Amino acid sequence: MCGIAAVVNFNGSGDSLRAQMLAMLKAISHRGPDASDYHLQEGVCLGHNRLSIIDLSSSGNQPMHFNELTMVFNGEVYNYLEIRADLEKLGHVFQSQSDSEVILHAYAQWGAQCANRFMGMWALVIWDHRSREAFLSRDRFGIKPLYYTLQSETLCVASEIKALKKVPGFDAELNMEQVMRGLQMGWTGYESETYYSRVAALPAACHATFSRGKLRVVPYWKLQQNEQVPVHYTERRERFRALFLDSVKLHMRSDVEVGSCLSGGLDSSAIVSAIGHERLHKQIKTFSIFYTGSGAVDERPWISHVLGAYPMIRPFMHEPADTDLAEAFAASQFHLDAPLPGSSPVSQYFVMKLAASEGIRVVLDGQGSDEYLGGYRHSFYRLIGGYFARMKPLRALSEWRSCGAYSGSGASAQFNMLMKSVLAALSSESSLYRAEYHHYHPLLAEDRNVPFAWKDEPATRLNAFLYQLLFRTSLPTLLQFEDRNSMAWSIESRVPFLDHRLVEFAYNCPDEDKIKEGVTKRILRDGLAGILPDEIRNRRDKKGFVTPGETRWLRGSLRGIVAADQVAQLHGLRPKRVNALLEAFRKGDNRHAVLVWRISALNEWLKQHTA
């Protein structure tokens, strides 16, 4: 895991490019404390901060050169040993044991098509000295970040926006459409858009080429509902199990100690249990945050089931003190390069801090499972609505009753679920999101236009919803938290659930493999029978990344951030509505505590965003 930067500016002097690169690398030094270097030639400078994970020797340092290519790379390609063996058969000779060198040779051999062979997470820039062309690539799900600015035929690329701010003449103009998406929906970005109008993210599963002042972005992979899967559920369940265990095994490849986050929920418990069951490590350190007191949920009783099943786990647990919250909030928001849309990233920041205190440089985490296995309650509406849309009313009503009973819903909640399911049957996924934008929170924008739109996927109602979670709404924001909070402590965070083989297989399984009779993530629960403790496997509650919540913190240690002096000055917002929400909260109204958090976080971020 590393931090990368690149500048292509044929009008700049060597001295100016060098100074610019040094400033950019310093801004993201936390991403790679083990080595830092750059390659400078006429009009081009590539820089790299290294966090040593595979091949700890200097042979793995970057920028890396091969033939007429120079590369800076961030991430891990877990099947690099298999790709290396294929390349050696083709005559390639390697000077190191690193995955980075394998990637560079793979590009030399197969060009852009090499990415189709990779299983992993990556963001990279390769400069071709012969064609004088830059090649950029990002992994299939956007696990690793890659941002760029393009002005006057000058391309600047970096792992984090804070590095791009060091570019002379950086334009800090706000993207007000993203501001509204953040406030209303809680997203930290949208497709290629960021909070800055002049800063873009290379979209997931895309390559880009930069030549003669022009940048061309092209997709190289797309998740589709077209793969053949076994007819019988027992076979699909066993196939899912095998793919998951293989993914965890590959994600354990490392030349440094690997730890894991452990929340007590289904996903992180599944990963740790797989490690224990497959005996992939003699001992593994796990890291958990808990809270006690009013409004808190303590997950330690659930964690204890995993610890009891696998004595090789060495657990580390920590309860953050209220006195630490203000510092953690500010640090997490600084590293995110965006306003914090909720309180959970602060807890994640504490988890990574705990792991770092024990000398861990690699952790596994459970992001991604909910987004393609139907882990969220909103998935119920699409599942039931899908049966209505396919003219299966009896199946729809049966699932409606089961989902309500499984989640413990009362009569009012049951009726609400039915109405939302009918709406899901009659509406496109994009129209459902537009309705949510207008009605989930009090609308703060003067303009009622919805700042997002997309073409719905040709899939079942449930899969159409899951696709958006994966690529536009939920997961991109969660992955930004994952990357920034881990890299703030120079830790590489790996997400085994986002092995593309696993996602492709599950996405093509029938809807009932994801949710049946109210049981979410069914194929995961059934597939890990005998591995995951039954107490966890049969959990009905969905907790996410638990914190005491926005209300308790904003009324406690973070009450000093509840303000909107900067937000109220933004053109396009309703200042009276903004201030009224905050005033109501101060008087004890908690109904819109999440929105009050987002306003306050945006307000704090606006004080620093030009810095």
- Per-residue pLDDT tens over the stretch 595-607: 999 999 999 999 9
Q: What CA–CA distance (Å, rounded) separates 607 from 430? A: 34
Q: Which two tokens stand for residue 523?
A: 């194929």
Q: What CA–CA distance (Å, rounded) separates 113 from 99? A: 17
Mean pLDDT of the chain: 95
**Buried-exposed string 510-525: b where 16+ CB fall within 10 A, e elsewhere:** ebbbbbbebbbbbbbb
Instruction: Please state the rounded mean pLDDT for residues 63-71.
Output: 97
- Per-residue pLDDT tens over the stretch 182-197: 999 999 999 999 999 9
- pLDDT exceeds cutoff 80 at 407: no
Q: What CA–CA distance (Å, rounded) separates 135 from 281? A: 37
The model's confidence at residue 400, banded by pLDDT at 50, 70 and 90, is very high
**Buried-exposed string 214-224: b where 16+ CB fall within 10 A, e elsewhere:** ebeeeeebebe
In CATH, which superfamily holds the domain spanning 233-371+474-537? HUPs (3.40.50.620)
The CATH label, of 3.40.50.1970, 3.60.20.10, 3.40.50.1820, 3.40.50.720, for the domain at 2-219 is 3.60.20.10
3-class SS at 389?
Answer: helix
3-class SS at 314?
Answer: strand
Q: What is the dihedral of CA 153, 154, 160, 163, to 10 degrees?
A: -150
- Per-residue pLDDT tens over the stretch 448-505: 899 999 988 889 999 999 999 999 999 999 999 999 999 999 999 999 999 999 999 9
pLDDT at residue number 610: 62
Instruction: Please state the rounded mean pLDDT for residues 134-145.
Output: 98
Strands 69-77 and 64-66: antiparallel
pLDDT at residue number 611: 60
- Per-residue pLDDT tens over the stretch 197-206: 999 999 999 9
Task: Say what percent of the chain tops pLDDT 70.
Answer: 99
Neighbours of 130 (CB within 10 A): 8
Q: What CA–CA distance (Å, rounded) separates 139 from 368? A: 14
Query: How many CA atoms does the CB half-sphere of 210 hold within 13 Å?
Result: 25
Domain boundary assignment for the chain: 2-219, 233-371+474-537, 377-471, 550-606
pLDDT at residue number 546: 64
Which residue reads 């309703």 in tokens?
574
The model's confidence at residue 542, banded by pLDDT at 50, 70 and 90, is low
Q: Which two tokens stand for residue 272?
A: 């740790």
DSSP 416-447: HHHHHHHHHHHS-HHHHHHHHHHHSS---BSS
Closest CA to 192 of 136, 156, 148: 148
Is 509 in contact with 236 (CB distance < 8 Å)? yes
Is 542 in contact with 376 (CB distance < 8 Å)? yes
Our CA angle for 423, 367, 35, nearest 5°, is: 145
Neighbours of 465 (CB within 10 A): 28
Query: Which residues does 252 contact at the CB level (< 8 Å), separation at least 6?
Result: 258, 275, 280, 281, 364
Of the candidate ranges 120-124, 208-212, 328-332, 441-445, the one whose mean pLDDT is the lowest: 441-445
- pLDDT exceeds cutoff 70 at 156: yes
Is 201 in contact with 141 (CB distance < 8 Å)? no
Query: Which residues does 371 contact at the CB level (< 8 Å), separation at least 6?
Result: 466, 469, 470, 474, 475
Is the backbone of residue 503 left (phi > 0), alpha (psi -120 to 50) or beta? alpha
Q: Which two tokens stand for residue 455?
A: 């073409």
Instruction: Please state the rounded mean pLDDT for residues 28-46.
Output: 97
Q: What CA–CA distance (Å, rounded) separates 322 from 558? A: 9
- Per-residue pLDDT tens over the stretch 543-594: 666 678 899 999 999 999 999 999 999 999 999 999 999 999 999 999 999 9
Task: Say what percent of the chain tops pLDDT 90.
Answer: 90
Identity at 43, one-letter amino acid code: G
Closest CA to 462 of 396, 526, 397, 539: 396
pLDDT at residue number 547: 78
Of the candidate ranges 247-261, 327-341, 398-412, 434-448, the one whose mean pLDDT is the lowest: 398-412
Is 71 in contact with 126 (CB distance < 8 Å)? yes
3-class SS at 217?
Answer: strand
- pLDDT exceeds cutoff 90 at 1: no
